[in-house]
Chains A and B, each alone.
Chain A
Amino acid sequence: NAGVTQTPKFRVLKTGQSMTLLCAQDMNHEYMYWYRQDPGMGLRLIHYSVGEGTTAKGEVPDGYNVSRLKKQNFLLGLESAAPSQTSVYFCASSLARSTDTQYFGPGTRLTVL
């Protein structure tokens, strides 16, 4: 099993550009999450999904959109990137509850110039 994978690993954008980050899991997990991690900060939840076709806002959702069309995939979109969105983005999944053990992907390092 690959676990949780993320693409791309690195990306540089110019202000105003758009992009989509892809997360895939092969563990048949119901819950999936997108976090951002900034220096000196813990993880902050952007959006999450409790199952295929569902999404919900987390702590810092502004400027991001998500979609969960297939159970195994969770997409994070930035419609108009801003320098404040420069961060490392992590996707995670858990089996059946938000308080279950979470399994993380390797991260995507995004720089917005």
Chain B
Amino acid sequence: SQQGEEDPQALSIQEGENATMNCSYKTSINNLQWYRQNSGRGLVHLILIRSNEREKHSGRLRVTLDTSKKSSSLLITASRAADTASYFCAGGSQGNLIFGKGTKLSVKP
């Protein structure tokens, strides 16, 4: 019962390029969150966007939210090798946070 579903499942880019990951969700949400997971590590929170927000920025991250389409996107600009990780979206509604299966991003030097 995944709330979020990321697309693509895997993405490989060169250092310096931009990376865009998309997330679709099923039910109404209060907020949508993006997390990063480096190999063998726990998840780290990146950014939270509330349902009444359309766009949010944090450093090289830009998140958009379209509640009419039940979708969100995460843009990482000027990617670095250190951005190599899996990225998960998670929808928060009245119940618990529900995570998608993730996008595996590989940034080649």
> How long is the Cα–Cα vector from A53 to B31 in the complex, in angstroms?
28
Cβ–Cβ contact A43 & B42, under 8 A: no
Given contacts A99-B31, A107-B41, A107-B42, contact A42 B97 (CB under 8 A): no
Distance between A7 CB and nearest chain B CB, rounded to angstroms: 14
Rounded to whole angstroms, the CA-CA distance of A71 and B41 in the bound complex is 24
Q: From known contacts A40-B101, A42-B2, A42-B88, infer whether A101 and B96 are also in contact, taking CB-CB under 8 Å.
A: no
Q: Mark A38-56, 1 if CB is under 8 A from B, else 0.
A: 0011110100100000000
**Which residue on chain B has the smallest CB distance to residue A99?**
B92
Instruction: Point out residues on A near B: beta carbons under 8 Å.
Output: 4, 33, 35, 40-43, 45, 48, 58-59, 90, 92, 98-99, 101-107
Docked-complex contact A42 and B101, CB < 8 angstroms: yes
Q: What's the Cα separation between A59 and B97 when bound, in Å?
A: 11
CB-CB under 8 A from B35, the residues of chain A are 102
Segment touching A, from B43-51, B63-71, B75-83: B43-51
Chain A residues whose CB sits within 8 angstroms of the CB of B30 once the complex forms: 99
Q: Is the CB of B48 within 8 A of A101?
A: yes
B42 near A98: Cβ-Cβ < 8 Å: no
Q: How far is the CA of A107 from the CA of B41 in the complex (A)?
A: 7
Complex: A102 Cα to B77 Cα, angstroms = 25
CA distance A33 to B101 in the complex (A): 18
CA distance A90 to B40 in the complex (A): 11
Query: Is B25 engaged at the interface, CB distance under 8 Å to the other chain?
Result: no
